[in-house]
Amino acid sequence: MALIVQKFGGTSVGTVDRIENVADRIGKFRDNGDDIVVVVSAMSGETNRLVELAHSIDEKPEAREYDVLLSTGEQVTIALLSMALNKRGISARSYTGTQVHILTDSTHNKARILSIEEKKMRSDLNGGRVIVVAGFQGVDEHGNITTLGRGGSDTTAVALAAALKADECQIYTDVDGVYTTDPRVVPDARRLEKITFEEMLEMASLGSKVLQIRAVEFAGKYNVPLRVLSSFDEPYFANNKNGNESDGSNGTLITYEEDEMEQALISGIAFNRDEAKLTILGVPDKPGVAYSILGPVGDSNVEIDMIIQNISDDGTTDFTFTVHRNDFVEAKKVLSKVAADLGAREVVGDDKIVKISLVGVGMRSHAGIASKMFKTLAEESINIIMISTSEIKISVVVDEKYLELGVRALHSAFGLEEKV
């Protein structure tokens, strides 16, 4: 018998039929003798619908009220799923984030979880009940509802698994694991049996939305065994009561066991469509210039990603950086003011760019990956606009029209496809 936290994403609970299927699946785990804590997302499309509603009232809605609105999607799903379980004779209780006291800081729209009260959940579990918790939401110390950022139900699940010291946290979604790249872009992408926390963290932060980045951080920090699985496959039992190891596909395990893994050069390719870049041209080149440009941008709550500075021989410098596409207009406004103050020549921008990244711990011990990447893109006549590297990743920024072509070409050049 195990304690398992199971999270079902929007598509997996997207219709009443699918909610009934999830209830059947949970029933099979109960039959196997496992204790189950369930975390659910809003039904697919619901959170987007709520976002649109908010924006139809106010372009920049008040953050507190925005969270009150967005958190309602998950409340619908917990109730429906609990009804479906109870109908099957599986005793279940639904809880909002406030009710199980998922305490967060007060950063509305992207709050961080600080603690979770496990007492009430323990007593339900001891009473043989399935607990169904609303993902993506918490409560701050003043009793205000908060939300954890888009995709935040993954983080709720991992945090609950950590608090309850669950045997495993299973993230059920519409693909049967983490693939070498998004299978919607590369149909012959390969499912990974295992991926290291470090690589998964890079993949998530570089744009692979299969897991929210904070969920991976949390799992790494609290040592939570984390697995990504499909909610449409046969259930997978780590320890079937009949002694079988596994029934259905075992998805992808996020693991620490770097040494045991076959050391692939590249584990995966991540990409991010939400990029934009800004350049301030002809800034007088003197100490403090980076601070006087990036300081005001940071102060307006815009996160900066890649940065490049080029020095000209006329004593001026050009400064380019990337931001999230949603922040493009705001960042451009701030930068235009900075340009006027500094006596810079011009501000130019482009919000039709994307970032493609190769990720793999195998890069540490191999040279030549960057040049192979650049050669592959050159052969497809794809112009590289910016480059950034770290020990286990190489990222390039390219025009958005080359996203699919670039990802497919790299996927094949590095031999990542499914071998038949």
**Binding footprint of ligand ADP on the chain (CB under 6 A):** 9-12, 41, 151, 173-175, 178-179, 181-184, 208-210, 268
138 binds Mg ion (CB under 5 A): no
12 binds ligand ASP (CB under 6 A): no
135 binds ligand ASP (CB under 6 A): yes
170 binds ligand ASP (CB under 6 A): no
Q: In angstroms, what is the minimal distance from the CB of 52 to Mg ion?
A: 19
Q: In angstroms, what is the minimal distance from the CB of 298 to ligand ADP?
A: 28
Whole-angstrom distance between the N-terminal and C-terminal Cα of the chain? 37
The residue behind tokens 């699918």 is: 18
Q: How many residues lie near ligand ASP (CB under 6 A)?
A: 13
Binding-site member from 135, 151, 220, 251 for Mg ion (CB under 5 A): 151
406 binds Mg ion (CB under 5 A): no
The entry of ligand ASP, ligand ADP, Mg ion, none near residue 42 (CB within 5 to 8 angstroms by kind) is ligand ASP
42 binds ligand ASP (CB under 6 A): yes
The entry of Mg ion, ligand ADP, ligand ASP, none near residue 135 (CB within 5 to 8 angstroms by kind) is ligand ASP
Q: Interface with ligand ASP by CB under 6 A: which range of 149-157, 251-259, 337-345, 378-386?
A: 149-157
Whole-angstrom distance, CA of residue 295 vs CA of residue 274: 22
Q: In angstroms, what is the minimal distance from the CB of 187 to ligand ASP?
A: 25
The residue behind tokens 């709550």 is: 301
Whole-angstrom distance, CA of residue 148 vs CA of residue 391: 29
Within a 10 A sphere around the Cβ of 387, how many other Cβ atoms? 14
Binding-site member from 6, 71, 153, 170 for ligand ASP (CB under 6 A): 153
Are the C-beta atoms of residues 168 and 5 closer than 8 Å to each other? yes
Residues contacting residue 173 through CB under 8 Å, at least 6 positions apart = 9, 11, 12, 210, 228, 229, 230, 231
Q: In angstroms, what is the minimal distance from the CB of 210 to ligand ASP?
A: 11
152 binds Mg ion (CB under 5 A): no
The entry of ligand ADP, ligand ASP, Mg ion, none near residue 179 (CB within 5 to 8 angstroms by kind) is ligand ADP
47 binds ligand ASP (CB under 6 A): yes
Interface contacts to Mg ion, rule CB under 5 A: 9, 151
Query: Footprint of ligand ASP on this chain (CB under 6 A)?
Result: 9-10, 41-42, 47, 73, 135-136, 150-154
